[in-house]
Homo-oligomer: A and B are copies of this chain.
Amino acid sequence: MQRYFIKENYHTSDPESLKLIGDDFHHAAHVMRMKVGQECFLVFQDEVAVRAKVTELLEDYLLLEEVAKEEQEKELPLNVTIACGYTKGDKLDLVVQKGTEMGAYQFLGFPGQTSVVKWDHKKLKKKQERLAKIAKEAAEQSHRHLQPEVILYETEQYLRDTFQEYDVVLVAYEESAKQGEKGQLVKTLQQLPKGGRLLVLFGPEGGFSPQEIATFTEMGALTCGLGPRILRAETAPLYLLGAISYQLELL
């Protein structure tokens, strides 16, 4: 069933007179061709999701009424932010699409020391809009209760400035994996309380330089390995999210 993200909180809405407007109205009325009596999900900014039935179809909006709340928890018990060094091509598209399906809370991008691509302010703004759209569509498709935010930074300094907003900062580091480090991720996941904020940094194709690692760890970040195989830059975040969901939602 189709999902629409509503740009207001549930607790300020009237359950008997919900509304779809703008792009969502267009999608419901002209792409999905919804008729009176048909149902969809509406997801509000305060992460409440309801099943709703169309009651009236008007010129430029659509009225619905609530049928039932969606009770199943859809979000990971941790807020996981994935930060990726800029890589060539459209690898970030893949990370944002698949990472949204797997439950990431937020995506950050930054130019790593070994990043080959150089994107200026204008290009980053355009990319950020495109990735936000990918995240929105993936969130609808995967039945999320929130749309992950995407922020592309112009410098690595801006990324480091956010470290203090998180309970734990991990750095996925190939050298840790090679040396057989395997306890840090487990320890972190077992210790963080529900609602904890975790930031995980992933390097570009060339990985992190020893200098970057030194700067991160001086600021309190912890290096961690993700198993014995060398994962591509865009594969590592997906491994991480599968592991986090397994530990916190299945185990």
Contacts and interface: CB of A to CB of B under 8 A. Distances in A.
Contacts of A242: 238-243, 246
Kindly name the residue among A72, A98, A102, A250 whose own CB sees the greatest number of chain B CB atoms within 10 A.
Answer: A250
Nearest to A248: B227
A167 interface: no
Given A102-B235, A141-B230, A142-B230, A246 B249 contact: no
Contacts of A226: 245, 250
A143 B182 CA distance: 17
Interface string A174-202: 00001010110110000000000000000
Interface in A19-41: none
A49 to B, nearest CB: 12
B231 A142 contact: yes
Contacts of A144: 229
Interface in A198-248: 226-232, 235, 238-243, 245-247
Contacts of A143: 228-230
A14 interface: no
B182 A250 contact: yes
A85 interface: no
A74 interface: yes
A112 interface: no
A183 B229 CA distance: 27
A102 B250 contact: no
A229 B98 contact: no
A27 B54 CA distance: 62
Interface of A: 72-74, 94, 98, 101-103, 141-144, 178, 180, 182-183, 185-186, 226-232, 235, 238-243, 245-247, 249-251
Given A101-B232, A185-B250, 12 more contacts: A72-B180, A98-B238, A102-B227, A102-B229, A141-B230, A142-B230, A143-B229, A226-B245, A242-B246, A243-B243, A243-B246, A247-B251
